[in-house]
Structure 1
Amino acid sequence: MRFWILISIVAISGLSQGMLLPLLSILLEKHGFSSSANGIHATALYIGVLLISPFLEKPLRKYGYRPMIILGGFIVILSLALFSAFHSFLIWFFLRLCIGIGDHMLHFATQTWITDFSPAQRRGRNLSLYGLFFGIGFSAGPLLASLIQFHESLPFFLSSLLSLIGWCSVFFLPNERPQESEQSGSAHTFQRFVHAWKYAWVALLLPFTYGFLEASIHAIFPVYALREHIGIEHVAFILPAFSLGGIIFQLPLGVLSDRFQRKRVISVALLIGSASFFSAYLFHHSLVGLAVCFFIAGMFVGSLFSLGITYMADLLPKQLFPAGNLLCGMLYSIGSMIGPFMTGLMIQFGANHNFFFTISALLFLVFVPLLWNKTKKVTHG
């Protein structure tokens, strides 16, 4: 029951995040704000993640998983409810930042808890289900945002209500704490970050890569499409192909990583993903070809975040799981902020097709050290 309650909460969190991105973009556009201001506003979520990350590990060790999920969920519910009460750019920015803080508390606690109690031979399967449920919720978010046509406050009200229902279920869970050791108990958070990076840096590159990839696809591919005279209705057909591929293949890829050497499975996924985005350049005149390339890419690199956490757990002792999970969230956020800027820059000062080349090159650059890395799991923290 513990596992299914946790991933249900994650699905509701994904629904809220997937709703908030298009909904606030539409509302800010309707209220007359520029596209650049809209883009800056979207970074609030990731700023919230980066601001709170250094302060989460110590309270998690002291108070346990459940209190952090309850507090994070409460911040999200309250913030969602307050959106409809105000119509201010700055207040919405602050509320979005608060949602970034609350969501990160919730995700950090749930993914660390799942990583902690999952046996190594089922960790890939469990964390792929974690990613799958979040992906399904995130994909359903725009449907919730479309309810704005009935009333501007309706999506906010429904998402806060669903979050409240999920939040209440947490009270039925027993509280647990991360495993401690003498070294982890005496070390400062920064020292644990250094240790986690030292032993699992190659696995931690994967959440960064996924953040870069996901944010670039959703933010910059529409710009590329408009410059290549691809209609908005065709973009709406191509973009979901990536998400669909990730959702369909999330669980099979996680199970494969349990049965075969995890590093090899991830290496093959990165190589196929890199080839898929390079192929998208070759088929850029064909809408079906682009959709197929995006779908195949989603199948293999749409699971990089959950696979990154799983591989990180293979390399670290349990007492470093909280630090490793925090680094995963931070690197994902940094990738999400850098991705649209870098790919946008490559398009602005180069050819439009640099969009595909940049993503393909990044995936290949991560594939190389992963393939040749000889790091083994450490037994101390």
Structure 2
Amino acid sequence: MSSITRPKLSHSTANYLILITVIVVAGISQGLLLPVLSIFLEQKGVSPGLNGLNAAALYIGSFAMTLVAERLLGALGFKKLIVGGLILVMVPLILFPYLPDIKIWFILRLIVGIGDSALHYAAQLWVLLVTAPEKRGRYISLYGMSYGLGFSIGPLGIKLLGFGDAVPFWVLFICIAAVLILVLMKLPDTKPEKAEHGQLPERRFRRSLAWAWYALLPALLYGYMEAGMNSNFPVYGLRIGFDTSQISSLLPFIGIGGLFLQLPLGMLSDRYGRKKILMFAGISGGIIFMLVPVAGTHFWWTLVLLTIAGGLVGSFFSLGLAYAADILPKVLLPAANVVASFHFTIGSIIGPNLGGQMINWISPGSMFTLLGILYLLFGVAGILFRRKPEFESVLK
């Protein structure tokens, strides 16, 4: 690869706020689509298994995009990839209510997953690359909070169904269109810097994993926790004696805890170091997850435990990426983001399946025991990880 000069990434508060706005609407789209489409399919008499398989199309699309995201970003740049992602999310929205066929919905969800992954990859990498190390924790935490906020707002769109099946989709379409216009008008057209000849080998994925494995593991754990809790907690709750109303009230508090603690943990990581905070959050969160079965059917104790545990580990994905940005050369960050996305997807697939098997074959509470052990092991594994600054000099 010959030497290529790329425009330097520009950064300003305005650019950052635009990226945050993009992520909020991305969160709203996911938070709206998942429950609304599930409701439609349930009303059509579609089995829960087929309903879940249809929803999995989004993750398949997201996984597929991670395979080509790095090369697309190098070819198109940040702005064009974000624009393309917004369009791929926006266009299927207005087709869902008018093409009510489950096979077509699978394809549309696949497209949404591709678009969502594209804009996430570009936006989070842009934030990582342009943020000063001493502020990286708080900025990437605000980024994570923004998606969580959007994802929490999304289900409120269910109330719009009272005005017509297509209304939630049109409202979201208009919101994304407005953000798309903002991106086209205000964001600078920039590309990531490329390395000199011989400095970006095909082993870049292996190198980023070898040099920053501890920073990339949180994405796997976060995907496992998020997907596993969303899929398995309702089963756990029903089996120990919670009713559906209690379960629906408890589940959101895992995410709410993350919204409250992401920024404080990010700021603490700026001050005391990313690794120390990740170890603390992993060990503390693991212990609290293991205490959930002890609370039994006590609603308020369960709520408190889920809120604190979710708050401690809810920033794992963003803090892990921030830590990777601390210890890797900039030219390896695109590859590291791809690895993190792979890990998140793998965790999202393993979580519901392994947790479900634990519930079936051991006990309902065993899903929390295993989850707690995984976070404890991660925290302890931090003792084994050592940053190797001499590697950075090879590529900087």
Question: Do these two structures clear the TM 0.5 threshold for a shared fold by scoring above it?
Answer: yes
> Counterparts of 1:50-69 in structure 2 under 5 Å?
50-69=63-82
Residue in 1 aligned with 2:85?
A: 72
Of 328, 352, 362, which aligns to 1:350? 362
Residue in 2 aligned with 1:262?
A: 274
Amino acid corresponding to residue 279 of structure 1 in structure 2: L
DSSP 3-state at the match of 1:182:
coil
Give the whole-Å Cα distance in 2 for the aligned partners of 1:118 and 1:51. 28
Amino acid corresponding to residue 235 of structure 1 in structure 2: I
What are the ranges of 5 or more consecutive residues in structure 1 without an aligned counterpart? none
Give the whole-Å Cα distance in 2 for the aligned partners of 1:269 and 1:371. 14
Give the whole-Å Cα distance in 2 for the aligned partners of 1:185 and 1:98. 34
Give the whole-Å Cα distance in 2 for the aligned partners of 1:198 and 1:230. 44
Amino acid corresponding to residue 266 of structure 2 in structure 1: G
Residue in 1 aligned with 2:141?
A: 128
Residue in 2 aligned with 1:289?
A: 301
Give the whole-Å Cα distance in 2 for the aligned partners of 1:184 and 1:117. 24
For 1:266-290, what per-residue CA distance to the aligned partner results, in whole angstroms no more than 9, with x for missing partners? 1000111101111111112311110
Residue in 2 aligned with 1:111?
A: 124
Give the drift of 1:358: 1.8
> Does residue 33 of the first structure (1) align with residue 46 of the second (2)?
yes
Give the whole-Å Cα distance in 2 for the aligned partners of 1:317 and 1:145. 44
For 1:274-333, what per-residue CA distance to the aligned partner results, in whole angstroms no more than 9, with x for missing partners? 011111111123111100000110221111111111011112100111111122122112
Give the drift of 1:186: 5.0
- Residues 173 and 184 from structure 1, CA distance in 2 versus in 1: closer, same or farther, beyond 3 angstroms? farther
Residue in 1 aligned with 2:187?
A: 173
- Residues 338 and 184 from structure 1, CA distance in 2 versus in 1: closer, same or farther, beyond 3 angstroms? farther
> Does residue 98 of the first structure (1) align with residue 98 of the second (2)?
no
Of 254, 274, 278, which aligns to 2:290? 278
Residue in 2 aligned with 1:145?
A: 158
Give the whole-Å Cα distance in 2 for the aligned partners of 1:249 and 1:186. 37
Residue in 2 aligned with 1:211?
A: 223
Residue in 1 aligned with 2:213?
A: 201
What are the ranges of 5 or more consecutive residues in structure 2 without an aligned counterpart? 1-13
User: CA-atom RMSD, angstroms?
Assistant: 1.4
DSSP 3-state at the match of 2:219:
helix
8 Å CA contact 1:214, 1:336 repeated in 2? yes
Residue in 2 aligned with 1:298?
A: 310
Give the whole-Å Cα distance in 1 for the aligned partners of 2:198 and 2:166. 46
Give the drift of 1:185: 6.4
Give the drift of 1:157: 1.3
Of 13, 16, 24, which aligns to 1:3? 16
8 Å CA contact 2:141, 2:263 repeated in 1? yes
Residue in 2 aligned with 1:16?
A: 29
For 1:230-283, what per-residue CA distance to the aligned partner results, in whole angstroms no more than 9, with x for missing partners? 011111221122111100111111010001121011100011110111111111
Of 152, 160, 176, which aligns to 2:173? 160
For 1:20-48, what per-residue CA distance to the aligned partner results, in whole angstroms no more than 9, with x for missing partners? 11111111111111111112122111111
Give the drift of 1:371: 3.1
For 1:141-198, what per-residue CA distance to the aligned partner results, in whole angstroms no more than 9, with x for missing partners? 111133223311111111121111111111111111112212576534xx22112111
8 Å CA contact 1:13, 1:134 repeated in 2? yes
TM-score, normalisation: structure 1: 0.96
- Residues 183 and 248 from structure 1, CA distance in 2 versus in 1: closer, same or farther, beyond 3 angstroms? farther
Give the whole-Å Cα distance in 1 for the aligned partners of 2:158 and 2:176. 15
Q: 4+ residue runs of structure 1 moved beyond 6 angstroms? A: none
Residue in 1 aligned with 2:257?
A: 245
Amino acid corresponding to residue 319 of structure 1 in structure 2: V
TM-score, normalisation: structure 2: 0.93
Which stretch shifts more, 108-117 or 196-205? Answer: 196-205
